[in-house]
């Protein structure tokens, strides 16, 4: 067959049937009319549809960060403040960087170039390259004019006092939310509420027009703490010195206002710098005054004596026979380090006799002792809002054996936290009542609180505690020139693996001026290992240094003649363990 050119094809001369021509014409006209109608409808009657589609491509609602509230001490000194920083982010699809550009960006951000490339190779629409950079460094990144690389304004928390305030203040995370301490306990008030605004962005994510403000940000509220910066520094520095001198593992100091219950200082070691947490480990992070419980030892004896006075079992001067310096209950024997013979109730506290304290305890019912410990706040967290706060260990009275009741009289078989112990001593520093302790400054301190002991009992035990720091007591090193001091030492073996180990916790709790108590200071030294481990040798000197400095800082008038301290060359009485 001869090939026929397409242009010469006889099919081209054939005419379509008339009905097909008309059908095609009708279909085309119908489609054209439909398009015109749809166009008129969308642009004239339902123009929101096209507007929504356009806005979906270019309009965005972006958050406006609220500035986190400041934290200040009771005098207005700033302890935590948010400073402006910037974060570098990228649209991976647009961030096609040349090798030289990637190296320049990595060098500025102090990152590995491989890490930068991995982030920019992500299949996500948005990635952070590095967050919370100083504004001047972010400006240098912007000067590189890299495609797909942008920056965002944020805030970063700064703590001027660093490690001195670390456990009290805590810190915030990268999203500026509280993670520890005050930052967590008061996070709701400090955070505020982010605002929002509607903007027009181009395809590269740059804002080209501000459309409207939807919600203005609600700035966070400032928090005024009960904390006194000067008292806090005294507590921290003297605790640090004591740990170094005694080669101790850890320690803590709590300073309370005896009248209001406000926490004026809370220091722990080991500590950390909240501004640089790169090498932070768990031991540094623990707020030991609230998270670590320990057997308080002889610091519990005043409570036993107070209950015996309250129940009418004894009087201040009632004689108690402690000879021959030991006491057998069942198969166990309680010992005194020294044989004292007959002691008054006051001398049992002054010389810290285990036998005397055990006899006082056994004169009462387990239910009465348990009720007293419970009313003092032992066995339950104080619920201050700090993470990890524990309540210690206080077993139900019905499970107590006689030997357990006897040993609880001098702080064995019960565990407490340092903050609980400091608060419980309010009962002696005040007229037998307890007021709640407060992290925030109180404009109107409570006048009265929960009554635990009568005012008469509190005054009598206060006199016993004052005897304990004089010559013949266990803590002459707790004396302060110009002030009458009252307090009690404690030394206890640590429990490891369910048994007592040859490791110790030394403690001291006291208050001053004894004539009208203003401050309560509690000290705990964990595992002193430089030859001394008794509370009177290790913890009492820290108490004296912190208390003396704090009283002078607060301008508390002396209540005793300013004369040489009554410390003899004779070794002080050792508290029994």
Residues serving a catalytic function are 298
* Tokens of residue 121, six digits: 């190779």
Q: What integer pLDDT is reported at residue 195 of this predicted model?
A: 72
CA–CA dist 232, 238 (Å, integer): 10
Q: What integer pLDDT is reported at residue 209 of this predicted model?
A: 55
Q: What integer pLDDT is reported at residue 77 of this predicted model?
A: 96
**Pair 172, 190 in one domain:** yes
Q: How far is CA 206 from the centre of its chain?
A: 40
Does residue 42 register a pLDDT over 90? no
**Which contiguous run of DSSP H or E holds residue 29?**
helix 18-40
> Average pLDDT of 189-201?
75
> Average pLDDT of 301-317?
97
The number of domains in the chain is 2
Closest of 239, 309, 291, 258 to residue 538, by C-alpha: 239
**Pair 164, 291 in one domain:** no
Question: Does residue 56 lie in a domain region?
Answer: no
Q: Which domain holds residue 161?
A: 62-224
CA–CA dist 523, 489 (Å, integer): 10
Does residue 283 register a pLDDT over 90? no
pLDDT in tens, 389-435: 999 999 999 999 999 999 999 999 999 999 999 999 999 999 999 99
**Which contiguous run of DSSP H or E holds residue 63?**
strand 59-64
User: Residue for token digits 């909240």?
Assistant: 274
Does residue 247 register a pLDDT over 70? yes
Question: Does residue 576 lie in a domain region?
Answer: no
Four-residue CA torsion sign, 263, 369, 381, 162: positive
Q: What integer pLDDT is reported at residue 570 of this predicted model?
A: 46
**Pair 483, 340 in one domain:** yes
Q: How far is CA 532 from the centre of its chain?
A: 31
Average pLDDT, the chain: 88
What does DSSP assign to residue 163?
A: G
CA–CA dist 24, 47 (Å, integer): 32
408 or 281, greater pLDDT: 408
- CB of 205 within 8 A of CB of 213? no
> Average pLDDT of 127-134?
89
Question: Does residue 153 lie in a domain region?
Answer: yes
pLDDT in tens, 563-574: 766 555 445 566
- CB of 467 within 8 A of CB of 350? yes
CATH code, 516: 3.40.710.10
Q: Is the peptide bond preceding residue 270 cis, with omega within 30 degrees of 0?
A: yes
**Pair 80, 216 in one domain:** yes
* Tokens of residue 433, six digits: 């009542």
**Beta-carbon neighbour count of residue 310 at 10 Å?**
20
- CB of 236 within 8 A of CB of 164? yes
- CB of 268 within 8 A of CB of 525? no
Does residue 181 register a pLDDT over 60? yes
Question: Does residue 115 lie in a domain region?
Answer: yes
Q: What integer pLDDT is reported at residue 236 of this predicted model?
A: 98
**Pair 150, 244 in one domain:** no
Q: What integer pLDDT is reported at residue 569 of this predicted model?
A: 44
Q: What integer pLDDT is reported at residue 404 of this predicted model?
A: 95
Cα separation of the two ends of the chain: 123
- CB of 509 within 8 A of CB of 520? yes
> Average pLDDT of 8-29?
78
Q: In terms of pTM, does the model score above 0.85?
A: no
* Tokens of residue 48, six digits: 């929101």
Question: Does residue 450 lie in a domain region?
Answer: yes
User: DSSP string covering 332-398, please?
Assistant: EEEE-SS---EEEHHHHHHHT-HHHHHHHHHTS-HHHHHHHHHHTTTTS----S-TT----B---GG
> Average pLDDT of 461-480?
95
Closest of 270, 272, 238, 335 to residue 547, by C-alpha: 238
Q: What integer pLDDT is reported at residue 56 of this predicted model?
A: 59
3-state per-residue secondary structure call for 76-108:
CCEEEEEEEEEEEEECCCCCCCCHHHHHHHHHH
Q: What integer pLDDT is reported at residue 219 of this predicted model?
A: 87
> Average pLDDT of 492-513?
91
Q: Provide the pLDDT confidence category of residue 208 given band limits of 50, 70 and 90.
A: low
- CB of 575 within 8 A of CB of 335? no
**Pair 219, 237 in one domain:** no
> Average pLDDT of 73-77?
96
Question: Does residue 111 lie in a domain region?
Answer: yes
User: DSSP string covering 166-213, please?
Assistant: HHHH--B-TTS-B-SHHHHHTHHHHH-B-EEEEEEE-TTS-EEEEEEE
User: Residue for token digits 């986190």?
Assistant: 68
Residues of the chain with pLDDT > 70, as a percent, come to 88
Q: What integer pLDDT is reported at residue 63 of this predicted model?
A: 64
Residues of the chain with pLDDT > 90, as a percent, come to 60
CATH code, 173: 3.90.1310.10
Question: Does residue 473 lie in a domain region?
Answer: yes
């Amino acid at each position: 067959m001869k090939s026929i050119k397409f242009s010469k094809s006889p099919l081209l001369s054939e005419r379509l049937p008339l009905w097909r021509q008309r059908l095609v014409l009708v279909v085309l006209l119908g489609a054209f009319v439909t398009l015109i109608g749809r166009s008129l409808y969308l642009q004239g009657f339902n123009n929101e549809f096209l507007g929504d589609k356009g806005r979906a491509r270019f309009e965005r609602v972006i958050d406006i960060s609220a500035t986190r509230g400041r934290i200040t001490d009771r005098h207005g000194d700033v302890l935590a403040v948010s400073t402006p920083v910037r974060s570098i982010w990228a649209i991976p699809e647009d961030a096609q960087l040349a090798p030289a550009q990637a190296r320049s960006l990595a060098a500025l951000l102090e990152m590995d170039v491989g890490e930068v490339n991995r982030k920019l190779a992500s299949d996500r629409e948005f990635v952070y390259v590095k967050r919370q950079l100083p504004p001047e460094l972010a400006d240098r990144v912007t000067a590189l004019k890299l495609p797909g690389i942008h920056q965002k304004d944020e805030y970063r928390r700064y703590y001027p006092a660093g490690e001195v305030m670390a456990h009290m203040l805590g810190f915030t995370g990268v999203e500026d939310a509280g993670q520890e301490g005050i930052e967590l306990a008061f996070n709701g008030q400090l955070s505020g509420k982010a605002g929002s605004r509607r903007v027009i962005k181009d395809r590269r994510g740059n804002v080209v027009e501000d459309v409207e403000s939807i919600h203005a940000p609600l700035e966070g509220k400032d928090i005024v703490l009960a904390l006194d910066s000067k008292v806090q520094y005294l507590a921290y520095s003297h605790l640090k010195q004591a740990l170094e001198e005694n080669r101790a593992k850890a320690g803590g100091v709590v300073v309370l206002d005896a009248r209001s219950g406000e926490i004026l200082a809370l220091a722990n070691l080991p500590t950390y710098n909240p501004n640089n947490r790169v090498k932070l480990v768990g031991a540094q992070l623990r707020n030991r005054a609230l998270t670590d419980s320990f057997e308080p030892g002889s610091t519990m004896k005043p409570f036993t004596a107070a209950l015996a006075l309250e129940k009418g079992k004894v009087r201040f001067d009632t004689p108690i026979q402690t000879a021959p310096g030991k006491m057998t209950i069942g198969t166990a024997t309680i010992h005194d380090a020294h044989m004292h013979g007959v002691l008054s109730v006051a001398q049992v506290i002054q010389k810290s006799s285990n036998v005397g304290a055990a006899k006082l305890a056994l004169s009462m019912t387990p239910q009465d002792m348990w009720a007293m410990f419970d009313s003092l706040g032992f066995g339950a967290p104080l619920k201050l809002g700090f993470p990890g706060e524990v309540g210690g260990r206080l077993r139900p009275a019905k499970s107590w054996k006689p030997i357990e009741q006897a040993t609880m009289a001098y702080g064995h078989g019960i565990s407490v936290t340092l903050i609980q112990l400091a608060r419980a001593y309010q009962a002696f520093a005040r007229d037998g009542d307890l007021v709640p302790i407060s992290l925030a400054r109180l404009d109107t301190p409570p006048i009265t609180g929960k009554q635990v002991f009568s005012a008469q009992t509190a005054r009598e035990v206060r006199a016993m505690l004052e005897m304990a720091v004089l010559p013949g007591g266990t803590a002459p090193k707790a004396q302060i020139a110009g002030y009458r001091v009252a307090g009690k030492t404690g030394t206890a073996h640590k429990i490891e693996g369910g048994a007592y180990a040859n490791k110790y916790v030394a403690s001291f709790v006291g208050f001053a001026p004894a004539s009208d108590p203003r401050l309560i200071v509690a000290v705990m030294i964990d595992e002193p290992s430089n030859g001394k481990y008794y509370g009177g040798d290790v913890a009492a000197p820290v108490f004296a240094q912190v208390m003396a400095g704090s009283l002078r800082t607060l301008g508390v008038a002396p209540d005793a003649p300013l004369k040489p301290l009554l410390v003899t060359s004779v070794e002080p009485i050792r508290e029994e363990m």
